[in-house]
Amino acid sequence: MRAVVQRVRTASVEVEGAVVGAIDRGLLVLLSAGDDDTAADVTVAIDKIAGLRIFPDAAGKMNLDVGAIGGAVLLVSQFTLHGDVRKGRRPSFIRAMAPEPAAAMVDDVANGLRSRGLTVAEGVFGANMQVHLVNDGPVTILIDTKRAF
């Protein structure tokens, strides 16, 4: 799985002009399942997202995770994170997981984060979404459960 994790002051996602998910302080997570991802990748993604220490402590050092600051997670599926542009300029999405199993994996990540006591808002899988955010820092972290980067 691949994720782009952004520390935010606020974030929301709209579908057809209606807000379907919104958070205040916390993490906006854009998440994609790859064609070779398994339940082990879901576990790694949950652990990394929930445990990512990118919020400042009293000394101003990035040392706290989203739960420690009472923050929330806005989880948005984004298969284009598996786009491959090594050849040409048009992305190939052959490495992205098929929609049905990918939706289940994204749900598993959301539920896993909830089981850690986190508040999780979500986008709508497969929908055309408009994501709004105020990136705090800015802080943006890339996660790949296969450790490709």
Is 80 one of the catalytic residues? yes
Catalytic entry in 6, 38, 43, 80 = 80
- Let me know the angle formed at the C-alpha of 67 by 50 and 132, rounded to the nearest 5 degrees: 80
- For residue 63, pLDDT over 80 is answered with yes
Is 55 one of the catalytic residues? no
- For residue 148, pLDDT over 80 is answered with no
- For residue 58, pLDDT over 90 is answered with yes
pLDDT of residue 137: 96
pLDDT > 70: what percent of the chain?
Answer: 100
Catalytic entry in 6, 55, 79, 145 = 79
The CATH number of the structural domain formed by 2-144 is 3.50.80.10
Catalytic entry in 6, 55, 78, 145 = 78
69-124 pLDDT per residue, tens: 999 999 999 999 999 999 999 999 999 999 999 999 999 999 999 999 999 999 99
5-51 pLDDT per residue, tens: 999 999 999 999 999 999 999 999 999 999 999 999 999 999 999 99
DSSP per residue, 68-86:
TTT-EEEEEE-GGGG-B-S
Is 10 one of the catalytic residues? no
pLDDT of residue 13: 98
